Structure 1
Amino acid sequence: MKKTKLVVVGNGMAGVRCVEEILKLDPERFHITIIGSEPRPNYNRILLSKVLQGNSSMDEIVLNDWSWYKENGIELLAGESVVRIRKEEKIVETASGIKAGYDVLILATGSSPFMPPIDGIRKPGVIAFRNMDDCRVMMDYAVKYRKAAVIGGGLLGLEAARGLLHLGMETEVIHNAPYLMNRQLDLMSAELLRKELEGQGMRFRLNANTESIVGRSRAKGLRFTSGAVLDADLIIVAVGISPNIELARGCGIATNRAIIVDDYMRTSAPDIYAVGECAEHRGIAYGLVAPLYEQGKVLARALCRPDEENAPYTGSIPSAKLKVSGVEMFSVGDIEAETALQSFDGIKGTYKKVTMRGGRICGAILYGDTAESGALLQMVKRGAPASELASAASTSGGGREQDEIIAAMPDRETVCACNAVTKSMILKAVAEEGLETADQVRDRTKASSSCGGCRATVEAIVGFAKRSGAEGMAEKSVPMCGCTESAHHEVKEAIANSDRGWRSPEEAVQALGWRNLSGCDTCMPAIRYYMSLKIVDAGRSLTGEIGRRSFIGLKINVAEDDGAGSPFGYDALCLGGELRRMGETLTFPYPVRAAAASGIHQAVGVLVHDIGLNGSPAGWEIYAAGHSENPVKQGQLLGLVETSGQALELAGACLQLYRERADFLEPMWKWVEREGIVEIREALFDPEARAALFASFASAGGDAFRLEREGVRL
């Protein structure tokens, strides 16, 4: 079969990560051509600071060497710049005259350093800090000269300055704000950072604005608006980036600050997509690696599985970790909101601040100890109530040893946000493959391979796993009640895997070794529920006894559109009615409420129900895990489908997944937070798995009111 021609403009981290995801999903689908302006293979731009600081070599930051392209049948045009897109003919042209035809085009053109309009900024001796060539220039200058200046006191500027110090140059950072990293830090943490870096030899000039670069044939220093002059032989400009949009704009693709894309990374032109720093999604252009990788994954699925309901890209919450030697710092979200928690330990040199809006966590700063960064990142992402900070503090007290902190970390907590690697994935790799070092874990899972900010946490988890042995690999168990030492997940597994056919809860608890063979009001309803799932799965009949705690009715609220007789309103009524018919006879872990509406203006509260189905111009939007009571939770988008039949299947499959995986009395919103919306989407967007879940949901509903032919008593 003839392969689809895929051309990727840009050989950077975003474009190549998208190609990697495509190769995972469907390696034979595309003939891939990558065109990159640099004469080298794909490398990790984020780790350039480590090269300057002497922690890595140029070769060590290469992500995919020349052989990778060859092994995967990828044609790499390195050192070539695309200057024109001919949309009608589906051809791209390079500056050297090469023409490449495409069926699908991905623009991953990245961004360029922003060079402010300062007089003399184009003189020799003034460079940005963006690529390997810039690193080499800095190294060459360090051999000949002693004084350097860095314009910009943000993350990139400080990394460049620390590298210059390592190269032996006297370095002063010029920043036009009253304190460093003013977009990511508050005054307290910025002052701690400044004092630490001054101790390493860095100097700072704050609230300073550069007027011009002095020197005739090359840069000799800076003149400020105050009239002061600073001598410098090398000047690094690190004040921001500008998305590379000229290529897209030149062929009529819609642009703003960057190339405008939708939730599936589509541009305004047919068959042309954009990812990375050059893409603007919902008004935001991201410059951090984690969002770029998330975009690449979404686009890869959209290209490889166009006939499926793929999860959209809904945006990212940027976070930053400083990678300067000896300094640990983390920042995420809105740090200027109301303070929910603030603490400072002058002896240890640690600082923590958590912010909130409307009682929900929206931002955080950590300085000196970033062990909680993963947990706080997840809290910010899901808008956790500020009350969770108290319980988190009780399980992560500052006086505990590192192993205790790692042991308390949830298995599903994300350790490496850039590559979506969780604690359990690292533990599994260590246990199953005998990995012993963080480098081995990085090579196997990609954890810490991007920005490197999670390196310390990865090392701690590996050390914990080695010291804990098999016990450290096991999921932490909380007994379901005082009658047993078994947790919910252990009881579920035992019942599901049993071939003995227990005929009553009493028979089950005896076989499971309960201390109290009569059970209690906590465990017996849970066992009835887990047994009901086992019985239906085995094709045996059961009686649902209305009123028992193990039986929960499903409530559906349906509203017609403003036009009472509209077909869409009729579809909403039919869809809601069918979901009610199938679900109202089933047992659920916790009361489930659903809502179906024919349009966005209905008042049935689609976003605050466990399952919400909302009609839209593009079809049906399916939401999960909304909650209208304390704590209020907004439903998360599961997917967008075209027909009411597809909507019923997706909603029913989600409810069945909830029935099978949730603990008894665990609300859907808690289950989604525990499992993770990404993992749930991936389970539901596999067509075969979704169809099987929906079939189980439908058949279970049909069995719910049959007589107990086999004498099963629940």
Structure 2
Amino acid sequence: MTFGNDNPGSGTRERLVVIGNGMAGCRAVEEILARDPGRYSIAIFGAEPRVNYNRIMLSPVLAGEKAFDDIVINTAEWYEENGIDLISGDPVDQIDRATQTVIARSGRVEPYDRLLIATGSDPFIIPVPGHKLPGVVTFRDLDDVDKMLAAAEKGGSAVVIGGGLLGLEAAHGLNLRGMSVTVIHLMPTLMERQLDEAAGYLLKTELESRGQVILTGADTAEIMEKDGHVAGVKLKDGREIPADIVVMAVGIRPATALAKSAGLEVERGIMVDDHMVTSDPAIMAVGECVQHRGTCYGLVAPLWDMCRALADHATDAPTGYLGSVTSTKLKVSGIDLFSAGDFSGGDGAEDIVMRDASRGVYKRVIVKDNKLVGAVLYGDTADGSWYFDLLKKGEDVSDIRDALIFGQAFASGGGALADPNAAVAALSDDAEICGCNGVSKGTVVKTIQGGACSLDAVRSQCKASASCGSCTGLVESLLKITLGDDIQSGPRTVCKCTSFSHDDVRRLIIEKDLRAIPQVMQELHWTTPDGCSSCRPALNYYLLCAWPGEYEDDQKSRFVNERMHANIQKDGTYSVVPRMWGGLTNPRELRAIADVVEKFNAPMVKVTGGQRLDIFGIKKEDLPAVWADLNAAGMVSGHAYGKSLRTVKTCVGSEWCRFGTQDSTGLGVKLEQMTWGSWMPHKFKIAVSGCPRNCAEATIKDFGVVCVDSGYELHVGGNGGIKVRATDFLTKVATEEEAMDVCAAFTQLYREQAWYLERTAPWIERVGLDHIKAGLFDDPEAVAKLAARFRYSQQFMQDDPWAKRAAGEDSELHQHLAEVRPLEFAQ
């Protein structure tokens, strides 16, 4: 019996019905279409009212790093182009095996010749008292993310039950969204199925340093209720943790109810053979819902192997699925973690461990019978693919045993300085490059040889590095190996919403006279309706910089800390940093700070690294009143949260110090009053040291002044933080006025040319110091022109109602600004 459309040239198609519009079901269809596109007439039923998307990328959506459009795998056009009937938002409730039909919730009846079940998994809910309360959510689909985002909008606290992959990713996202987050985990080690105790400790320590509270060995007793809504979690040891939302992320179960009701053989999952066929020969199953050779898989990589075997069987070229070795990566920005295989050790197993405390690196490989059987990497995961390839192949590693822990380049004889591209070249063709999308090295190379000559082209054609991006370096190495000098690196696009680079967007905003975000998106053919969290802040900044005084700052396109003029803290309260010019203060300001601390019960006041006072523990609803009181004392925002000038750090200089050569404090005050309130591509710090002893640490700032007997040495492009960079020497000037003009000119050149979220250090490394010097000094009038443009824009930037001084304006500055008009931006 056949159903569906007639396909000239291939006869009547068989009807394939797929239950499940998720990653496994659609990937199986993709594999079938790649082998025999004319074989089946296909219908796909999906429970969610949307197209297929990458569920493993829900974490970046929650964290604000991606939008839904960024994680769509198969667009509506894909279904249409392949003649697939998508029935979304209408789950199948019944399978009638006797008539070979499925019945959807709407009553729709669909016949099949072959049926594919890809129902995935259901989240496990701990059946403790209160688990059905409003405010208790799981983390499995986009609707769950929307619930968490709605809760985060209101602020407050969240409890995540479960310290596995999903739980930690949920906690990370809610933390970034401004919530105070506590993670409750039953076992003593986070991610105990993937990490050993040492790596789990490092992970716990890192997450705690980001403001999360991690409770291991904690058992949930009940979910507390207040006014019909979740109010917190009570542990069996009596501790109570308040919560406005509780996320259950304790595990998953194969979704087998539909298969079981149809009479298929089910144990923990739907039983399938090596060809992914169930106990009914007409019905196949794939993904998290199945049980194969006694194993149920909850990670994405085995799904791709299953789909390939299923597609082979469905197109009469069976190869069989033999099971998978799995690996794990945590999708939390800034944390590099990889785990694969068996790390339990035991009899006959040998542990090889390397620890580098200064770099925060921990590596452990487990060897048994001269074969690699497990690996745990934290802090440096560059060799994860190589270890995983060795593990899957079961190769003898006795010849490289002594070098195994140091990675592929060293083990292959190249030593620590070996070409990293050579290590990638040595991987076998079936080595996994992209775990998110199940793409092997051979597939990537074939894609490149087929004409994909850039990273974006590879991503669009075979999806390698198109999801979490952690394998981007591997793909770039394969591009270099395969194409050599023919690789099309090209400028980096602003985001996936556009094909234009940052430089192109900045140039076209001026050339086309674009003055609003929607206008930019329309004129430059943005592929998304409203942009994303990457491009909207960038466009807002570029427009603000291009049209000072004319473009109205779009607060919705700013990060929450910038909108609040305060930094969110781990307990959900905020810290406020009023500006102190050059680090100086006076009795009036100190009294105002003391009054605010007492009036609003701030539990702590701390001197910052930039010589300011940080007031902690301010409630969100009190922020306007706090700033009103501080403004009344003449104090403005310190912008400690913003992509803007942060502070100008000074030493006491010649006025007090016996080594001081110039008035560094006075110059610092003048520089800060000139530059405060200026929005930048990224945070910007200045320091002025009164002598070469450099007590203000001017040589690790974005702009640094070191006073000497004969004048002022000016330095640029330094930063502290994780990767410390010392400044480059820019020039030497004789007077304060010259130092201030060069500072204003350099700052404006940075504002006009750098990419959004690019600090001065990477900007200078990208364009070169000679380019900076040429932009400032090749034209004798360049410094004056750039400084004039900077000072003109400042009169508008310093008019922010949150940050504006209440104690009057600098009349001399405003008189000068009135005489300056905007000049053409740098070409």
For the superposition of Structure 1 and Structure 2, which TM-score range results when normalised by the shorter chain?
A: 0.5 to 0.7
Matches within 5 A, 1:361-376: 361-376=372-387
1:228 aligns with 2:228: no
Q: Report how far residue 201 of structure 1 moved.
A: 1.7
Q: Report how far residue 445 of structure 1 moved.
A: 2.0
Structure 2 counterpart of 1:116? 126
1:435 aligns with 2:464: no
Answer yes or no: is the 8 Å Cα contact 1:243–1:257 preserved in 2.
Answer: yes
Structure 2 counterpart of 1:92? 102
Q: Secondary structure at the match of 2:230?
A: coil
Q: Secondary structure at the match of 1:172?
A: strand
Q: Report how far residue 139 of structure 1 moved.
A: 0.9
Q: Report how far residue 196 of structure 1 moved.
A: 1.4
**What is the rounded CA distance, in whole Å, between the counterparts of 2:381 and 2:203 in structure 1?**
14
Answer yes or no: is the 8 Å Cα contact 1:406–1:461 preserved in 2.
Answer: no
Q: Give CA-to-partner distance per residue, 1:133-178, whole Å, 9 cap, x none.
A: 1111111111113101100001111100110011111111100111
Shift of the 25–113 alpha-carbon distance from structure 1 to 2, 3 Å rule, reads same
**What is the rounded CA distance, in whole Å, between the counterparts of 2:354 and 2:162 in structure 1?**
28
Q: 1:327 aligns with which of 332, 335, 360?
A: 335
Q: Secondary structure at the match of 2:294?
A: coil
1:23 aligns with 2:33: yes
Q: TM-score, normalised by structure 2?
A: 0.54
Q: Secondary structure at the match of 2:195?
A: coil
Q: Give CA-to-partner distance per residue, 1:71-117, whole Å, 9 cap, x none.
A: 11001110011111110100111111111000100000111111011
1:4 aligns with 2:5: no
Structure 2 residue identity aligned to 1:192: L
Structure 1 counterpart of 2:144? 134
**What is the rounded CA distance, in whole Å, between the counterparts of 1:414 and 1:390 in structure 2?**
25
**What is the rounded CA distance, in whole Å, between the counterparts of 1:455 and 1:122 in structure 2?**
42
**What is the rounded CA distance, in whole Å, between the counterparts of 2:407 and 2:233 in structure 1?**
51
Answer yes or no: is the 8 Å Cα contact 2:421–2:477 preserved in 1.
Answer: no
Q: Secondary structure at the match of 2:59?
A: helix
Answer yes or no: is the 8 Å Cα contact 1:322–1:453 preserved in 2.
Answer: no
Structure 2 counterpart of 1:242? 253
1:184 aligns with 2:200: no
Shift of the 394–222 alpha-carbon distance from structure 1 to 2, 3 Å rule, reads closer
Shift of the 449–470 alpha-carbon distance from structure 1 to 2, 3 Å rule, reads closer
Q: Report how far residue 422 of structure 1 moved.
A: 3.8
**What is the rounded CA distance, in whole Å, between the counterparts of 2:155 and 2:472 in structure 1?**
33
Structure 1 residue identity aligned to 2:221: E
Answer yes or no: is the 8 Å Cα contact 1:161–1:173 preserved in 2.
Answer: yes
Q: Report how far residue 456 of structure 1 moved.
A: 4.3
Instruction: Work out which structure has the larger RCO, using CA pairs closer than 8 Å and 6 or more positions apart in sequence.
Output: 1
**What is the rounded CA distance, in whole Å, between the counterparts of 1:362 and 1:394 in structure 2?**
15
Answer yes or no: is the 8 Å Cα contact 2:409–2:418 preserved in 1.
Answer: no
**What is the rounded CA distance, in whole Å, between the counterparts of 1:423 and 1:469 in structure 2?**
20
Structure 2 counterpart of 1:585? none
Q: Secondary structure at the match of 1:276?
A: coil
Structure 1 counterpart of 2:319? 311
Q: Give CA-to-partner distance per residue, 1:567-604, whole Å, 9 cap, x none.
A: xxxxxxxxxxxxxxxxxxxxxxxxxxxxxxxxxxxxxx
Shift of the 203–463 alpha-carbon distance from structure 1 to 2, 3 Å rule, reads farther
Answer yes or no: is the 8 Å Cα contact 1:254–1:260 preserved in 2.
Answer: yes
Bigger Rg, which one: 2
Q: Report how far residue 452 of structure 1 moved.
A: 4.7
Q: Secondary structure at the match of 1:384?
A: coil
Answer yes or no: is the 8 Å Cα contact 1:170–1:202 preserved in 2.
Answer: yes
Tell me, which stretches of 5 or more residues in structure 2 are unaligned? Answer: 1-10, 489-827
Q: Report how far residue 426 of structure 1 moved.
A: 3.6
**What is the rounded CA distance, in whole Å, between the counterparts of 2:185 and 2:176 in structure 1?**
21
Structure 1 counterpart of 2:433? 415
Q: Secondary structure at the match of 1:163?
A: helix
Q: Report how far residue 394 of structure 1 moved.
A: 7.6
Structure 2 counterpart of 1:73? 83
Answer yes or no: is the 8 Å Cα contact 2:383–2:407 preserved in 1.
Answer: no
Structure 1 counterpart of 2:504? none
Answer yes or no: is the 8 Å Cα contact 2:409–2:419 preserved in 1.
Answer: no
**What is the rounded CA distance, in whole Å, between the counterparts of 1:407 and 1:298 in structure 2?**
27
Q: Secondary structure at the match of 1:300?
A: helix
Shift of the 89–423 alpha-carbon distance from structure 1 to 2, 3 Å rule, reads closer
Q: Give CA-to-partner distance per residue, 1:348-385, whole Å, 9 cap, x none.
A: 22111111333321111111111111111111112223
Structure 2 residue identity aligned to 1:364: A
Answer yes or no: is the 8 Å Cα contact 1:15–1:108 preserved in 2.
Answer: yes
Matches within 5 A, 1:168-317: 168-216=178-226, 217-305=228-316, 308=317, 310-317=318-325
Structure 2 counterpart of 1:381? 392
**What is the rounded CA distance, in whole Å, between the counterparts of 1:451 and 1:262 in structure 2?**
32
Shift of the 132–225 alpha-carbon distance from structure 1 to 2, 3 Å rule, reads same
Shift of the 272–460 alpha-carbon distance from structure 1 to 2, 3 Å rule, reads same
Structure 2 residue identity aligned to 1:61: I
Structure 1 counterpart of 2:409? 396
Shift of the 367–464 alpha-carbon distance from structure 1 to 2, 3 Å rule, reads farther
Greater shift in the superposed pair: 418-427 or 27-36:
418-427
Structure 2 counterpart of 1:454? 471
Percent identical pairs in the alignment equals 42
Q: TM-score, normalised by structure 1?
A: 0.63
**What is the rounded CA distance, in whole Å, between the counterparts of 2:150 and 2:375 in structure 1?**
39
**What is the rounded CA distance, in whole Å, between the counterparts of 2:437 and 2:481 in structure 1?**
21
Structure 1 counterpart of 2:344? 336
Shift of the 181–43 alpha-carbon distance from structure 1 to 2, 3 Å rule, reads same
**What is the rounded CA distance, in whole Å, between the counterparts of 2:341 and 2:96 in structure 1?**
40
Q: Report how far residue 429 of structure 1 moved.
A: 4.3
Shift of the 219–153 alpha-carbon distance from structure 1 to 2, 3 Å rule, reads same
Q: Report how far residue 218 of structure 1 moved.
A: 0.6
Structure 2 counterpart of 1:705? none
Shift of the 212–101 alpha-carbon distance from structure 1 to 2, 3 Å rule, reads same
Q: Report how far residue 405 of structure 1 moved.
A: 6.0
Structure 1 residue identity aligned to 2:384: S
Q: Give CA-to-partner distance per residue, 1:544-578, whole Å, 9 cap, x none.
A: xxxxxxxxxxxxxxxxxxxxxxxxxxxxxxxxxxx
**What is the rounded CA distance, in whole Å, between the counterparts of 1:59 and 1:237 in structure 2?**
26
Structure 2 residue identity aligned to 1:246: A
Q: Report how far residue 441 of structure 1 moved.
A: 2.0
Shift of the 400–351 alpha-carbon distance from structure 1 to 2, 3 Å rule, reads farther
**What is the rounded CA distance, in whole Å, between the counterparts of 1:469 and 1:424 in structure 2?**
20
Q: Report how far residue 54 of structure 1 moved.
A: 1.8
Q: Report how far residue 208 of structure 1 moved.
A: 0.3
Structure 2 residue identity aligned to 1:234: I
Q: Report how far residue 458 of structure 1 moved.
A: 2.9
Q: Secondary structure at the match of 2:305?
A: helix
Q: Secondary structure at the match of 1:396?
A: helix
Shift of the 260–224 alpha-carbon distance from structure 1 to 2, 3 Å rule, reads same
Q: Secondary structure at the match of 1:56?
A: coil
Structure 2 counterpart of 1:511? none
Structure 2 residue identity aligned to 1:282: R
**What is the rounded CA distance, in whole Å, between the counterparts of 2:457 and 2:306 in structure 1?**
27
Answer yes or no: is the 8 Å Cα contact 1:396–1:408 preserved in 2.
Answer: no
Shift of the 230–99 alpha-carbon distance from structure 1 to 2, 3 Å rule, reads same
Structure 2 counterpart of 1:469? 485
Answer yes or no: is the 8 Å Cα contact 1:147–1:170 preserved in 2.
Answer: yes
**What is the rounded CA distance, in whole Å, between the counterparts of 1:328 and 1:173 in structure 2?**
20
**What is the rounded CA distance, in whole Å, between the counterparts of 1:151 and 1:373 in structure 2?**
29
Q: Secondary structure at the match of 2:12?
A: coil
Structure 2 residue identity aligned to 1:440: A
Matches within 5 A, 1:543-582: none
Shift of the 461–2 alpha-carbon distance from structure 1 to 2, 3 Å rule, reads closer
